[in-house]
Amino acid sequence: MPRSPGDHTRFPMAASHWVSDDNVALLTDLYELTMAAAYVAHGLDEPATFDLFVRSLPAERAFLVTCGLEQALDYLEGLHFPPAALEYLDSLGIFDRRLLDRLATLRFTGEVWAMPEGEICFAGEPLARLTGPLVEVQLAETFLLNCLGYQTLVASKAARVALACGERSFFDFSARRDHGADAALKAARAAYVGGAAGTSNVLAGMAYGIPLSGTMAHSYVMRFADEAEAHRTFARVFPGKATLLIDTYDTEEGARIAARVATELRTEGINIRAVRLDSGRARYGTSSMRRGTATSRFSPQATSMSTSSLRCSRGARRSMPSASARASGPATTCPRSRSCTSWSRM
């Protein structure tokens, strides 16, 4: 049966339900802490080396694109257990003072060797290698698997989409379906590393300097008495930058309307940048759009774009880029990968 979360009023650091620098040390699995307690109790907190790697890839996935290192290093540099975190661990009644005292002064003192972000990598080779006191590297396992594994997954998917797109651009528009707010932010960055031209996520644009892209929704078109008026109004607010959504009702008729509006607005010195399909039926929508605009003309610079239910081709899944993907800076939402990231002590 569904149940309500427990009382968190004793520990205000967690009350906001957001991961922050003050509580991220607790973003770990309990067994990391129970192992750490045993290491400390038996004097086993000695130097150790751990590798983070992908164990295997499915047959149709020939490569990965590494991503997430910047956030991983930020985590390690700031890793600490504030008093509220220690109080919470003490309240569990399973840890003695030896572990709590070790955590009270814990900072990551080890070293990290890792592949640069945007590099092509394969199954079995380390994405990152950590060497340091056993407690420190052990406690980092959960966060690093989450951080590097998820962003590498998204960047790899974006790279396959980029291969399928060829010279055409594509953008991340995944925030509404990503599994959580932080995932949406990291997905936008990872998609950019993998080859996306930009993102719709405004926070990602501010945080990572990613170019932004956005048009209009069906609800905007539905706000007006007719499509033509919706398009005119939008284009006059964003002259030369407007992308018109043409499949709110009937795609072929929507394309004709957009073409008429484009011709009309050209007399005002306003050009339409692009038209967009968002019904999830790209092949049908593209054919309807071409029929609707067969006897009309947009400006020479106008393009078309499609969103929703796009897939990369099988060939793109298997082929490899000739060089590393976008290597700096920070697509699509990603289907579940069958690859498995692993954390292995050497």
pLDDT in tens, 72-105: 999 999 999 999 999 999 999 999 999 999 999 9
How do residues 12-43 score in pLDDT, each as one tens digit? 555 557 889 999 999 999 999 999 999 999 99
Mean pLDDT of 53-60: 91
| CA–CA distances in Å: residue 290 to residues 228, 234, 235, 253, 306 | 18, 22, 21, 11, 13
140 or 284, which is more confident? 140
Q: Domain extents for the chain?
A: 12-162+331-345, 218-306
Categorize the per-residue pLDDT at 285 as very low, low, confident or very high, splitting at 50, 70 and 90. Answer: very low
In whole angstroms, what is the distance from residue 231 CA to residue 140 CA?
Answer: 51
Those residues whose C-beta lies under 8 Å from the C-beta of residue 344, and which sit 6 or more positions away, are 50, 51, 53
Q: Does domain 12-162+331-345 have CATH number 3.40.50.720?
A: no
pLDDT of residue 176: 92
Which range has the worst mean pLDDT, 204-208, 264-268, 314-318? 314-318
- The answer to whether residue 311 scores a pLDDT higher than 90 is no
pLDDT of residue 261: 94
Tell me the residue ranges of DSSP E strands in the chain: 47-54, 64-65, 111-114, 120-121, 126-133, 171-172, 198-199, 243-245, 274-277, 303-306, 341-345
287 or 247, which is more confident? 247
Categorize the per-residue pLDDT at 226 as very low, low, confident or very high, splitting at 50, 70 and 90. Answer: very high
% residues pLDDT > 70 (the chain): 76
Q: Which of 252-256, 311-315, 340-344 has the highest mean pLDDT?
A: 252-256
pLDDT of residue 251: 87
The average confidence (pLDDT) of the chain is 84
pLDDT of residue 212: 95
The reported pTM is 0.81
Mean pLDDT of 189-215: 96
